Amino acid sequence: MLGASTMDSQSLDPSLKLLLDALERTPDNAPLRVHVADMLAKAGQHAQAIRHYRQAVSDASVSSEARLGLARCALAMGDAEGSIEACDALLKEVPDFARGLIARAKARHSRGQHREGLADYERATSLDSTLHEPSLRDALIRDTSDPRAKFRVVSGGDSAPSGAAANVPDTSVPDRVTFADVGGLDEVKEKIRMRIVYPFANPELFKAYGKKVGGGVLFYGPPGCGKTFMAKATAGECRANFINVGLHEVLDMWIGNSEKQLHQLFEDARRRAPSVLFFDEVDALGMQRAKLHSGSMRGVITQFLAELDGFASRNERVLVIGATNTPWDLDPAFRRPGRFDQVLFVPPPDRSAREQILSLKAHAKPTESLDFGAIAQQTEGWSGADLEHLLDSAAELALAQSIARGSLEPITMTHVDKARAKIRPTTREWFSTARNYAQYANEAGQYDDIADYIRQHNY
Ligand SMILES: Nc1ncnc2c1ncn2[C@@H]1O[C@H](COP(=O)(O)OP(=O)(O)OP(=O)(O)O)[C@@H](O)[C@H]1O
Ligand SMILES: [Mg+2]
């Protein structure tokens, strides 16, 4: 077991020493291990940090953070190749991990893969605008050898240079995430079972009733309420190949190439059927079109619609899931029959769902007599992501206390209450925009679910 004795303990700061002792007493405490590794890395003890990260990687609750730590340490030690590898593994598990994308951007920059690094950087900052690092971006742009990279998309008409195969989508079957990991959303789960899971398991039965297996489902709703998570769980449930497409990546390509990329993605999905092709933030298509004022985006949308239509039912056993939190930005043509013909509202979790989410997320953390029912009661309007944030903040408080006291303090209601006072739930803001659409732009009844929700919850 790793412990203070294996370290050059003279040079360690005192709180780190305490934590190392605590870790020796509770070696299975993976979050603590990652925290210790982070501190070691910060202190420049990269080799030691790496050993702890490696040990933590196998714990699902912290594996992403551990991989991120590995990537950063590898790069700090001059091993860009190893850093990219760690990032690849991380992003395969969690494609939207913005800090992981930044880490890979840096490693790729260091390996001379500037264009790919720039794509990572831009995707990361579009996911999380707080991650902007202008100096990194400038360096990536400066060093990108192909000058067209500076004029991506807007230049139009170009075909991509041969090196542009960097935007290979993440392809994986995330076997760990299933419906059991998703708190609440029982109605949505039931609809998905009928529409996706059963048909994929019994294609002959469904065909006998003249039903097609495959098609398109669109998830929409406020941020952080589980659209992306649900899509992953869906793929996990039906044991289909899950192909996660970062639309931003596809669209960041040179025009002309975007269409080819899209076609390639669908062909790949068809070849590997049964498969689920997941387009997160599918509104990017509509948004981009409005922003660009150019006909070039039309081509991409047309291509996308043609692929959805499947050129005469070639999409058998290929399911397309789209997710968006701005459904009003979507081209209405997407909703036509045979395309995204099933549109599912993913609402904020209700009280019992919040309780479930809290207990799911607290599972791997050291806690003491947390009353999830009481917390759920006090968090009306909070998203799943908000609740996760709440527990993380409470954990930070408990950790700070542990360091101050030199003993391991579990997370208690006091920590949670303190953390809660500092967090603003994020779904209300979405509803204040959504309300306008539900009231004034709901001719076809496409926002009835939102209207119902607002009525029932007095928003
Ligand atoms: N119902 C839920 N059950 C369990 N975890 C949830 C649930 N809803 C959200 N979460 C947690 O919150 C995180 C964020 O959720 P997710 O990324 O799926 O939200 P989203 O609806 O796709 O948001 P956005 O619109 O911002 O993309 C997930 O990684 C998950 O851990
Ligand atoms: Mg999402």
Distance 168 CA to ligand 2 centre (A): 20
pLDDT at res. 120: 94
pLDDT at res. 445: 86
pLDDT at res. 255: 60
Task: Quick: pLDDT tens for 132-166.
Answer: 887 888 888 777 644 333 322 222 222 333 333 33
Distance 201 CA to ligand 2 centre (A): 26
pLDDT at res. 152: 29
Residue showing tokens 């303190």: 418
pLDDT at res. 154: 22
How many domains does one find in the chain? 4
Q: Which of 315, 345, 375 is the last residue of a domain?
A: 345
Residues near ligand 1 with C-beta < 6 Å?
A: 182-185, 223-229, 323, 325, 349, 357, 360, 384-385, 388
Mutate-to-test residue for ligand 1 from 182, 185, 187, 228, highest number of ligand atoms within 8 A of CB:
228
pLDDT at res. 159: 31
What's the rounded Cα separation, in Å, for the pair 286 and 301? 8
pLDDT at res. 313: 60
Mutate-to-test residue for ligand 1 from 61, 97, 182, 225, highest number of ligand atoms within 8 A of CB:
225
- Taking the CA of 383 as reference, the closest ligand is 1
What angle, rounded to 10 degrees, do the helices at 114-127 and 98-111 form?
160
Does 155 fall in a domain?
no
Does 297 fall in a domain?
yes
Task: Quick: pLDDT tens for 30-41.
Answer: 888 998 899 899
> What is the per-residue burial (b if ≥16 Cβ within 10 Å, else e) of 411-426?
bbbebbeebbeeeebb
pLDDT at res. 287: 56
Nearest CA to ligand 1 atom 13: 385
Do 318 and 277 fall within a single domain?
yes
Residues 6+ apart with CB under 8 A from 386: 224, 379, 423, 425, 426, 427
Do 414 and 435 fall within a single domain?
no
Distance 26 CA to ligand 2 centre (A): 35
CATH of the domain at 10: 1.25.40.10
Whether pLDDT at 331 is above 70: yes
- In order, the DSSP letters of 120-176 are HHHHHHHH-GGG--HHHHHHHHHH-SSGGGGGTTTT-SPPPPGGGGG-PPEEE--TT
CATH of the domain at 225: 3.40.50.300
Do 265 and 414 fall within a single domain?
no
More confident residue, 379 or 334: 379
Nearest CA to ligand 1 atom 27: 223
Where in the sequence is the domain holding 320, given as residue range(s)? 170-345
Task: Quick: pLDDT tens for 401-430.
Answer: 888 888 888 999 999 999 999 999 999 999
Do 106 and 219 fall within a single domain?
no
Whether pLDDT at 252 is above 70: no
Does 59 fall in a domain?
yes
More confident residue, 49 or 10: 49
Do 405 and 447 fall within a single domain?
no
Instruction: Mean pLDDT check: name the lowest of 202-211, 286-295, 327-336.
Output: 286-295
Please provide the average confidence, as pLDDT, over all residues in the chain. 82
What angle, rounded to 10 degrees, do the helices at 80-93 and 63-76 form?
160
Nearest CA to ligand 1 atom 25: 223
pLDDT at res. 6: 43
pLDDT over 90 percentage in the chain: 39
More confident residue, 455 or 133: 455
The model's confidence at residue 290, banded by pLDDT at 50, 70 and 90, is: low
Per-residue pLDDT, averaged over 70-92, amounts to 94
Per-residue pLDDT, averaged over 174-191, amounts to 83
Instruction: Mean pLDDT check: name the lowest of 82-96, 144-158, 324-338, 408-422.
Output: 144-158
Do 204 and 307 fall within a single domain?
yes
Distance 280 CA to ligand 2 centre (A): 6
Do 197 and 331 fall within a single domain?
yes
Task: Quick: pLDDT tens for 97-140.
Answer: 999 999 999 999 999 888 899 999 999 988 887 788 878 888 88
Distance 265 CA to ligand 1 centre (A): 25
Per-residue pLDDT, averaged over 63-85, amounts to 94
Token pair in block for residue 140: 């990536």
Ligand 1 atom nearest to 181, measured from its CA: 4
Closest listed residue to residue 236, CA positions, set 228, 225, 248: 228
Do 333 and 365 fall within a single domain?
no
Residue showing tokens 């759920």: 376
CATH of the domain at 367: 1.10.8.60
